[in-house]
Amino acid sequence: MRAVIDTSVWVSAILNPSGPPASVLRALQFGRFDLVASGALLEELAAVLARPRLVQRYNLTPAKAQALLLVLQDAELAEVTGSIQVCRDPDDDMVIETAINGHADVLVSRDDDLKRSPEVTSTLLEHGIQVHTVQQFLDALDETAGHANT
Beta-bridge mates of residue 34? 2
Q: Domains (ranges, CATH) in the chain?
A: 2-144 (3.40.50.1010)
Confidence label for 150 from pLDDT (cuts 50, 70 and 90): very low
User: Measured at the alpha carbon of residue 20, what is the angle toward residues 96 and 147, in degrees to the nearest 5?
Assistant: 80
Q: Which residues, 6+ apart, have CB-to-CB distance to 106 below 8 Å?
A: 1, 2, 3, 4, 129, 130, 131, 132, 137, 140
Compute the distance between CA of residue 29 and CA of residue 32 in angstroms, rounded to an integer: 8
Percent of the chain beyond pLDDT 70? 97
pTM of the model as a whole: 0.90
The helix-helix angle for 39-49 and 90-101 (nearest 10°) equals 130
Residue range 66-106, pLDDT digits in tens: 989 988 988 999 999 988 888 777 788 899 999 999 999 99
Q: What are phi and psi of 83, to 5 degrees?
A: -80, -15
Q: Are β-strands 130-132 and 2-5 bridged in parallel, bridged antiparallel, or unpaired?
A: unpaired
The kind and range of the H/E element at 92 are: helix 90-101
pLDDT tens-digit profile of 26-59?
A: 999 999 999 999 999 999 999 999 999 888 888 8
DSSP-derived letter for residue 78 is P
144 vs 129 pLDDT, higher one = 129
The half-sphere exposure of 59 on its side-chain side, counting CA atoms within 13 A, is: 1
Give 22-28's long-range contacts (Cβ < 8 A, gap of 24+): 23/134, 23/138, 24/108, 24/134, 24/137, 24/138, 25/68, 25/71, 27/138, 27/141, 28/71, 28/72
